[in-house]
Amino acid sequence: MKTIVFTGFEPFGGEATNPSWRAVEELMRRPGPVRLIARQIPTVFGQAARAVEEVLGDIQPDGLVCVGQAGGSTGLRVERVGVNLNDARIPDNAGQQPVDQPIVAGGPAAYWSTLPTRRLVEALGRAGIPAELSYSAGTFVCNHVLYSALHYAAAHGLKTRVGFIHVPYLPEQAVGKANTPCMSLETMVRGLEIVAQELADWLEACDLAHPSRE
């Protein structure tokens, strides 16, 4: 059985809730053929990176799917790339607001997600869940986490597949925000269920195609 860790963030930017953590919490209540583990990540530069590095180092799961909030999105955004840049439009939850700073000094400019991103988007689409490939995870703590996790996995030679998915606002967050798209919690959770199953199936197929010689 494959082990997949899903992370979500604490609320930030004046919001009372964060749909990423709400959806991850609910996902853990859904039984399935995949071993799922949840971790909440602080919306704080530096602390967030250390949190995902601890997950990778301590658990060494088969997959790490970080989930974050992207207000204004109309569906699930499966991120393809993390860039080596912290550039915050608003302060994080510790009051930090870095501008034009590298996440890892001297690190690569970017890392590609190691999840089967297109396969995930296609599976979500078949299930009727709005989803798209995204080529920018921004430059706030979401991108900070994606880049940091990919860098740690690469630097330590881990086999863990790492990626990031943004989710829209919940309906209650869209109240008072004119023309702001949102998505029900149930739809988000169903989307993450599909991601978990699709990722597990893909990992199993990779094992069959490239069996260990140990």
Identify the CATH number of the domain in which residue 71 sits. 3.40.630.20
- pLDDT tens figures, 152-165: 999 999 999 999 99
Token reading at 94: 């510790």
Distances 110 to 27, 73, 139, 212 between C-alpha atoms, Å: 30, 23, 12, 29
**Which residues have a Cβ under 8 Å from the Cβ of 179 and sit 6 or more positions away?**
none
Query: What pLDDT does residue 212 have?
Result: 58
Query: What pLDDT does residue 176 have?
Result: 87
The number of folded domains in the chain is: 1
**Domain ranges, residue 134:** 3-209
Q: Is residue 214 part of a domain?
A: no
Q: Which residues are catalytic?
A: 79, 142, 166
Which residues of the chain have a pLDDT value below 50? Answer: 213-214
Q: Is residue 40 part of a domain?
A: yes
Query: What pLDDT does residue 32 have?
Result: 82
Whether pTM exceeds 0.85: yes
Nearest-angstrom CA–CA distance, 214 and 211:
9
Q: Which pairing describes strands 76-79 and 161-167: parallel, antiparallel, or unpaired? A: antiparallel
**Which residues have a Cβ under 8 Å from the Cβ of 87 and sit 6 or more positions away?**
98, 99, 100, 101, 139
Query: What pLDDT does residue 208 have?
Result: 83
Query: What pLDDT does residue 141 have?
Result: 98
Q: How many CA atoms lie within 13 A of 120 on its CB side?
A: 29
3-state class (DSSP) for residue 93: coil
